[in-house]
Structure 1
Amino acid sequence: MSSFSLGLTVVLACMAMVVTKYCYFCDISNLGSCVSTTILCGEEEECYFGQGSASGLGHITNRGCVEGLYCGREQSITYMETTYSFITQCCEGNLCNDGPPGPKQVSPSLPIIIAGLSVTLLLA
C-alpha cells in the first residue's frame, strides 16, 4: 500500500469518530409545506419535524434541530397571535426530518461508508 493510501485511510478513520448530523430546517409555516435548507446540528441535538394545532384552525409545521430532551414533548407556542399545541417528533440519521415521521428507514451510517471506502482503497 502506498503511503498516500495509508494516510487517506487513517484520515477517513479519524473522520468516522467525528459525529456530525445534518437536518432540514424551515421556519414555522401554516402552508403545510416549506422550502427547507440544511443545517448542521450540535452534538446533543436531534433532527425533528414539528407539528402544531389550535382549536378550529389548521396545522402549523416546522423542522430543524432540537435537544433530545425536547423530543416527543408537547409545548405551547404562539404563531401569528394564536397559541398552538406543538409537538416535536425526532428522528435518527442525517436529513431524516424531510416530513412527518413514518416507518423507520435504515440508512448507511458514516462509519460503514468510510469502511467501504477504506477497503476499496486497500484493494486498489
Structure 2
Amino acid sequence: MNGILLRVFAAGLLVAVANALQCYKCDLGIGGLCVTSKVTCNADELCFSGSGKAAGVDIKTKGCLPLLACNSNENIPVPGMPNTNLFQITKTCCNTDLCNAAPGPNALPLLPLLLTSLTSLLMATVLV
C-alpha cells in the first residue's frame, strides 16, 4: 500500500513540475542592457516584463509575478524618502514559457571564446 501511495505522490510531483512556468529574470535593466537568467515560477505566478523611465533612462525588469499583481503599475520610492517616487514601472504578464521577451545581452558566452583565443595565442607562441 505504501508503494502505491509513493508512486501516486511521485506522479503528482512530476505533473506539477512539468506545468511550472519558465520565465526570463532580470532584476534591473538600464537602457538596452538587461542581463537575464531563466527562473521557474511558482504555481500561482506568471511571467512579467516591466518597463518605466527614471531621469529619462529606460528601466526594465523581468521575472515571475503573482497573478493578482499582473498588469499593474508600481511606484518605486527614492531610498530613504518613502513619500517621493523615483519612477513608476508598468508590469505586463504573459502565460507561456519564456514569453517575457528574449534574453538581453549576456557577457558570459564571451568568456569561453576569450579563454580559447588566449590559449591559442599562448600555444602558438610556445610552439614557434
TM bucket, shorter chain: 0.5 to 0.7
C-alpha distance in 2, partners of 1:64/1:79? 22
C-alpha change, 1:93 and 1:16, in structure 2 (3 Å) is farther
Determine which structure has more spread, i.e. the larger CA radius of gyration. 2
Provide the aligned C-alpha RMSD in A.
2.5
List, as ranges, runs of 4+ consecutive aligned residues in structure 1 with deviation greater than 3 Å.
13-17, 78-82
Structure 1: give runs of 5+ residues left out of the alignment.
Answer: 1-12, 100-124
C-alpha change, 1:62 and 1:97, in structure 2 (3 Å) is same
Structure 2: give runs of 5+ residues left out of the alignment.
Answer: 1-10, 103-128
C-alpha distance in 2, partners of 1:33/1:79? 22
More strand by share: 2
Percent of matched pairs sharing the same residue: 29
Amino acid at match of 1:76: N
Matches within 5 A, 1:1-124: 17-18=15-16, 19-54=19-54, 56-78=55-77, 83-98=86-101
Q: Which residue of structure 2 aligns with residue 106 of structure 1?
A: none
Q: How many residues align?
A: 86
| Native 8 Å contact 2:21 2:95 kept in 1 | no
TM-score, normalisation: structure 2? 0.57
Q: 2:88 aligns to what SS in structure 1?
A: strand
C-alpha distance in 1, partners of 2:53/2:74? 11
Q: 1:30-66: per-residue Cα shift (whole Å, max 9, x none)?
A: 1223121100100000000000124x51220010000
TM-score, normalisation: structure 1? 0.59
Q: 2:68 aligns to what SS in structure 1?
A: helix
